[in-house]
Amino acid sequence: MKRVMGKKGYTLIELMIVLTIIGILVSIAQPNLHKAVIRAKETSLRRTLFVLRDVIDQYYADHGKYPDSLEMLVEKHYIRGIPKDPFTGSNTTWVIVPPEGEEGQVYDVHSGSDLVGLNGVPYNEW
């Protein structure tokens, strides 16, 4: 009886070609993934700023003056906690804009990040 040797497995060239193709596909997809992460953080920042500004306006409508700090909004139960800035990762880096000619200290809030958004506008100007 003669044993027939069949081809089992892959050659080194076949494996290298497959790995090269996978590498090319990953290098094409990575910039899109990076932009998707930044877009998600920008959306989170936009939503957080909207909520904070809305809560500040609600406080002003209820009390006739602006809050003295963001912590006051938590104490008065307007928000559960001060949200984190998605780009700095901290809830203490918010830039507070005081009102002109009004009582209180918090008229507006901006991000404390010095990075520039995908639209070309720095996050601390949003």
What's the pLDDT at 5? 63
The residue among 87, 79, 83 whose CA lies nearest residue 57 is 79
Domain boundaries, the chain: 14-115
Residue 80, Cβ density class (10 Å: 0-12 exposed, 13-18 middle, ≥19 buried): exposed
Between residues 31 and 95, which one has the greater pLDDT? 95
97-101: Cβ within 8 A, 24+ apart: 99/66
Residue 20's pLDDT band (cuts 50, 70, 90): very high
CA end-to-end span of the chain: 82
Report pLDDT digits (tens) over 46-65: 999 999 999 999 999 999 99
How far apart CA 27 and CA 62 sit, in angstroms, is 54
Half-sphere exposure of 81 (CA within 13 A, CB side): 6
Convert 35-79 into a string of H (helix), E (strand) and C (coil): HHHHHHHHHHHHHHHHHHHHHHHHHHHHHCCCCCCHHHHHHCCCC
pLDDT > 90: percent of the chain = 79
For residues 52 and 45, what is the distance between their CA atoms, to the nearest angstrom? 10
Query: What is the pLDDT, as a whole number, of residue 63?
Result: 94
In the structure, what pLDDT confidence band is assigned to residue 99 with cuts at 50, 70 and 90?
A: very high
pLDDT(45) > 90: yes
